[in-house]
Amino acid sequence: MIAFYVSILSLALTTVAVPYLARWSGALGLLDQPGERKIHQDPIPRVGGIAIAAGTLVSLAVWLPFTDLVSGYLIGALIIMLFGVADDISNLDYRLKFFGQIIAALVFIYVSGIWLTRPIFEIYSVVPVWFGLPLTIFWIIGVTNAINLCDGMDGLAGGSSLLASVALGYLAFSCDDKLTALLALAIIAAVAGFLRYNTFPARVFMGDTGSQFLGFSVAVLSLILIESSNRAISPLVPLLILGLPVSDTLFVIYKRVHAGGSPFRPDRRHLHHRLLDLGLNQYEAVLVIYTLQIILVLSAWFLRYSLDIVLLGFLLMFNAVLYWGVSYWAVHETHARSALMKASLMDQVVSHFKATNLFKRTGQGTVLYGLTLMFLFVTLKVPGVPPDIGWLGLMLGISLLLGLFMRSIPLLAVERLSAFVLSISAVYLVNETGLLGNGVVYTYFGMLAFGISLWLRFGSSSFQVNSLDVLIILIVIAVPNMPFIKDTGLGAVFVQTLVLFYACELVLSQNVGERILRAGLLISLIVLAFRGIVFPL
C-alpha cells in the first residue's frame, strides 16, 4: 500500500506544480530562450525540474523512514536541485556546477555510507577506500552530466531517466530491496507527471535542475543496487543500463578535445543532433534513442550475472555498431528517406475512413462513456472504501470544485490529477475486493483499449501519438511478462492503470465530452469521500 501512496503523492505534486510554476517562469527568470543550438523557436518555461524534484523529495520525505540511505539521497538531491535552480536562473560557470555536484556526492557518501567497493575483473577482492571514494564521486558526477548533456530534445532526458529508473528499480525489487524500489518509484511517478508537458512539441522544459536531479538520482540508484541491493550481479550492469548517455558524452568530449576545443563548450556533436542532421524529425530521433536504450536495458537484465568482460564487450560492440550505423545512414540518407515517405495502400484506406467519421465517433464514445460509467460503477458498487482513499477523494473533490470557480487554479491540471488518482483507486478497489470477475474486467479493458485505438487512428484531431505514447506502449507490453511481476499478478494491475491513464489523457487533451467526464469525476470523488469517511471499510 505504501507504493500506492508514494507514487500518488509524487505524481500529484509534479502534475499540479508544473502549470503553477510555468505561470511564474518569466518573473523567476526561468524562461529558455531560443538560440543557435536550440531547436525551439519561442521562449519556453524551464520549471519542470523543480516540479520533478519537489514531487520526488516530498513524497519520499513523507512516506519513507529516514534511514541513512534515504537521508543521504534526500540531502544530496536537494543540494543538486538548489544548484540546478541557480544555474537555470544565472547560467553558472561549469566549475560552480562541478562544485555543487561534488558536494552532493560527498554528502550522499558520508550520510549513506555507500561507495564503490566491488571491483571489476576481480582486480581486487575489495576496492580500497583510497580508490573507491574518488571513483564513486566520478561516477555520480559523470552520470549526472551525461543525463544533463542529453537533454537536447523534447522528452529525451526524461524518457531516458524513466527507462533507467524502471530498470534499476525493478532489479532492486527482484531481490526484495523494497526501499530502493520505492526510491525508484517516486522518481518514475514524478517523471511521468512531467513528461506529458515535455513531449514534442514541449510546453515546459526541465532545465538543468531536472536533468542534473535525474542524473544524480539514477547514479545513486545504481550505486545502491550493486553495493546494497544485490551484490551477486555484475557491477557493470548500471553501466550497461546507462550506456547510451554515458557513451554519447564520452564520444562528444573526445571529439571536442581532438578538435582542439574545450570539452565543456556546447556544440552539435551529440547523438540526437546527429540524428536530426541525418533527416529525422524530433519524434523519430527520440524514438530511435528510446529503442536503443531499451535494447541496453533488456541486455542488462539477461546479462546481469555474466562475467564483467562479457558486459563490457557487449557494450563496446553495441557502440561500434551504433556509430557505424549512423555513418552508414549519412551516406545513404537520401535514398532511405525517399523510401520511407512513399504512401502505402493502408494510408489511403485510413484516409477514407477518416472522412466518414464513423470510427472516430465510435472510438470517442467508447472511451468517454466507458471511462465515466466505470468510475461511477466502481465507487457505487464496491463493497467498502478504505478511509484513506475517502479522505483523498474529499481533497480532490474540493480541489475540482474550486477549480471550476476560481481562475487562479489550473482546472485542467486538477482534472488530470483527479482522473489519474481515481484511475489508480478504481483499479486497486476492483482487484482488491474482487468486485468483478476476470472475464468482465478483461472484456472492459479490451473494449476501452479498442476505443482508444480507433480514436487515435481515425480521429482527425490535434492529439498525435508521440514518443511518450510509444514508450508507454512498450512498457505495457514488457512489464506483465517480466519475471516476479508475472507471478504476482501485478502486471495486469499495471496495464489496467495505464489504459485508464491514457483514456483520461485522451479525453482531457481533446476537449471532447470533457464536461461529461468532469461530472463523472466529481460525483465519483464525492461518493468515495462519503463512503470512505462516513462508512469506512
| pLDDT tens, position by position, 110-127 | 999 999 998 887 766 788
The three-state secondary structure class of 58 is: helix
> Does residue 352 sit in the same domain as residue 310?
no
Whether pLDDT at 460 is above 60? no
Residue range 335-362: average pLDDT?
Answer: 58
Residue 484 · residue 470 · CB < 8 Å? no
198 and 64 in one domain? Answer: yes
Average pLDDT over the chain reads 83
Q: Any idea what DSSP says for residue 481?
A: G
Do 376 and 521 fall within a single domain?
yes
Look at residue 485 in the predicted model and tell me its pLDDT: 58
Final residue in a domain of this structure, among 340, 366, 399: 340
Q: Please check whether residues 249 and 362 belong to one and the same domain.
A: no
Last residue of a domain, one of 295, 316, 340: 340
- Looking at residue 324, what is its pLDDT? 85
pLDDT value at residue 487: 59
- 8-19: average pLDDT: 86
CA distances from 214 to 95, 188, 254, 255, 367 (A): 20, 10, 24, 25, 34
Q: What residue numbers bound the domain in which 413 lies?
A: 345-534
What residues pair up with 459 in beta bridges, in sequence order? none
Q: Is the pLDDT of residue 506 over 60?
A: yes
Q: What is the DSSP string of 38-71?
A: ---SS-EE--HHHHHHHHHHHHHHHHS---HHHH
Q: State the Cα–Cα distance between residues 42 and 24, nearest whole angstrom.
A: 17
Compute φ and ψ for 138, nearest 5 degrees: -60, -40
Distance CA 227, CA 241 (A): 16
Please give the pLDDT value at position 463. Answer: 47
Task: Classify burial at 422, counting beta carbons within 10 Å of its beta carbon; exposed 0-12, middle 13-18, buried 19 or more.
Answer: buried
The confidence score (pLDDT) of residue 345 equals 44
Please tell me the total number of residues recorded for the chain in this structure: 537
Residue 37 pLDDT > 70: no
pLDDT digits 0-9 by tens, 200-219 = 667 788 889 999 999 999 99
Residue 36 has pLDDT above 60, yes or no: no
Same domain? For 193 and 232 the reply is yes
Which amino acid, 147? I
Query: Do 112 and 141 share a domain, yes or no?
Result: yes
Q: What are the grid coordinates assigned to 176, written together?
A: 526484495
On whether both 226 and 356 belong to a single domain, the answer is no
What integer pLDDT is reported at residue 514 of this predicted model? Answer: 81
The kind and range of the H/E element at 32 are strand 31-32
- Average pLDDT, stretch 271-285? 78
Tell me what the mean pLDDT of segment 150-169 comes to. 86
Residue 459 — pLDDT band, cuts 50, 70, 90? low
Dihedral pair phi/psi, residue 343, rounded to 5°: -75, 140
User: 391 with 318, same domain?
Assistant: no
Statement to judge: residues 316 and 248 lie in one domain: yes
* CA 170/CA 241 separation, integer angstroms: 12
Please give the average per-residue pLDDT across 118-137, as a whole number.
Answer: 85
Give residue for cell 560557470.
Answer: 93
- Mean pLDDT within 2-24: 85
- The model's confidence at residue 527, banded by pLDDT at 50, 70 and 90, is very high
Q: Are residues 335 and 354 in the same domain?
A: no
Question: Mean pLDDT lowest for which of 146-160, 208-222, 480-494?
Answer: 480-494
Rounded mean pLDDT, 335-360: 55
Q: Which pLDDT belongs to residue 34? A: 63
Amino acid at 296: L
Is 340 a residue whose pLDDT tops 70?
Answer: no
As given in the structure block, the three cell numbers for residue 55 are 514531487
Query: Does residue 226 have a pLDDT over 90?
Result: yes
Tell me the C-alpha distance between 204 and 156, whole Å.
13
Three-state SS sequence of 224-241: HHHHHHCCCCCCCHHHHH
| Phi (first) and psi of residue 151, to 5 degrees | -80, 70
462 is written with which cell numbers? 490535434
Could you tell me if 50 and 7 lie in one domain?
Answer: yes
pLDDT digits (tens, 9 = 90+) for 74-105: 999 999 999 999 998 888 888 899 999 999 99
Question: Which residues have CB under 8 Å from 253's CB, separation 6+?
Answer: 263
Express as a percent the part of the chain with pLDDT over 90: 32
Per-residue confidence band for 458, with pLDDT thresholds at 50, 70 and 90: confident
Q: Looking at the structure, do residues 108 and 238 belong to the same domain, yes or no?
A: yes
For position 421, what pLDDT does the model report?
87
Give me the pLDDT at residue 221, please. Answer: 96
- Quick one: how far is CA 289 from the chain centroid? 15
Least confident window among 2-16, 225-239, 296-310, 328-342: 328-342
To the nearest 10°, report the CA torsion of 477, 478, 479, 483: 130
More confident residue, 85 or 479: 85
On the question of pLDDT at 41 being above 90, the answer is no
Mean pLDDT of 371-376: 92
Q: Which set of grid coordinates corresponds to residue 370?
A: 466507458
219: closest CA among 170, 171, 179, 165?
Answer: 165
- What is the average pLDDT across 125-131? 85
Instruction: Give residue 343's pLDDT.
Output: 42
Residues 190 and 48: their CA atoms lie apart, in Å, by 10
Contact partners, residue 393, CB within 8 Å, separation at least 6: 422, 425, 524, 525, 526, 527, 528, 529, 532
- CA 360, distance to chain mean position in Å, is 29
> Which amino acid belongs to residue 474?
L
Q: Of the segments 455-459, 460-464, 503-507, 511-515, which one has the largest average pLDDT value?
A: 503-507
Domain stop point among 311, 340, 369: 340
More confident residue, 342 or 210: 210
Compute the average pLDDT of residues 527-531. 92
Tally of domains in the chain: 2
Average pLDDT score over residue span 399-423: 85
Instruction: Enter the C-alpha cell of residue 258.
Output: 581532438
The answer, yes or no, to whether residue 513 has pLDDT greater than 90, is no
